[in-house]
């Protein structure tokens, strides 16, 4: 191994490795040093790995939104699928949910930043995106039938149905009852008798 380096980077997490990689592509000889046994340990290994562009500043949001395109073409960024015999990670363009509340100004500032960057922020209004939202405790028990409901809803919308104007009906085969999916509509009126203990 060469004993001469153009740069020594302290840390081999995601930032240290990305910096080393970028310098290496410029022809630098780089050495990463880390007290942990391998790359990607520490805070990197505990990350939820969500790429989100909504931050408090335009430049911070721009940096985050730009990174989305690197992850979207991860193989191209690294130089091809074949560089790792175990395969590369698969980026899932799933989006993220942020609740509009009076405490965050109903996300007005964040939406202004997204508009300035031409970044989509209401994916529930984008063709091909469907949302099913629930808390883990509440919706875990309902997951099988919610899956059936979402499959029917997606199929209907892909065939031209407007779910907002014409919510589909769902037949519950085991109890022989039909319910309207309008009960879950994003346009439904708030039930003032709700306990408001569950988000969904």
Q: What percent of the chain has pLDDT over 70?
A: 84
Residue 135 has pLDDT above 60, yes or no: no
Identify which of 36-40, 50-54, 73-77 has the greatest average pLDDT. 73-77
Residues 6+ apart with CB under 8 A from 182: 167, 188
Q: Which domain holds residue 66?
A: 51-121
**69 to each of 47, 66, 87, 113, 189, how far by Cα in Å?**
19, 6, 19, 18, 38
Residue 200 has pLDDT above 50, yes or no: no
Total domains in the fold of the chain: 3
Q: Is residue 194 part of a domain?
A: no
- Give the range among 14-28, 137-151, 166-180 with minimum mean pLDDT: 137-151
Q: Is residue 133 part of a domain?
A: yes
Contact 30, 24 (CB under 8 A): yes
Q: Is residue 136 part of a domain?
A: yes
Work out the burial of residue 16: count CB atoms within 10 Å of its CB; fewer than 13 is exposed, 13-18 middle, 19 or more buried: buried
How many residues would you count in the chain?
200
Handedness of CA 39, 79, 1, 29 (dihedral sign): negative
Q: What percent of the chain has pLDDT over 90?
A: 25
pLDDT at residue number 195: 61
């Amino acid at each position: 191994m060469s004993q001469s380096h153009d740069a020594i980077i302290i840390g081999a997490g995601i930032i240290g490795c990305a910096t080393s990689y970028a310098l290496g592509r410029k022809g630098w000889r780089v050495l990463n040093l880390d007290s942990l046994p391998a790359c990607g340990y520490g805070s990197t290994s505990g990350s939820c790995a969500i790429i989100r562009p909504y931050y408090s500043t335009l430049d911070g949001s721009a940096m985050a939104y730009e990174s989305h395109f690197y992850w979207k073409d991860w193989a191209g960024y690294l130089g091809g699928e074949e560089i790792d015999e175990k395969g590369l990670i698969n980026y899932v363009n799933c989006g993220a949910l942020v609740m509009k509340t009076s405490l965050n100004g109903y996300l007005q500032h964040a939406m202004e930043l997204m508009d300035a960057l031409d970044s989509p922020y209401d994916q529930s209004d984008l063709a091909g995106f469907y949302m099913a939202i629930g808390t883990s405790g509440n919706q875990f028990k309902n997951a099988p039938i919610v899956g059936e409901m979402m499959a029917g809803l997606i199929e209907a919308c892909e065939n031209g149905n407007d779910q907002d104007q014409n919510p589909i009906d769902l037949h519950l085969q085991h109890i022989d009852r039909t319910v309207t999916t309008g009960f879950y509509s994003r346009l439904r009126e708030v039930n003032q008798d709700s306990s408001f203990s569950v988000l969904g």
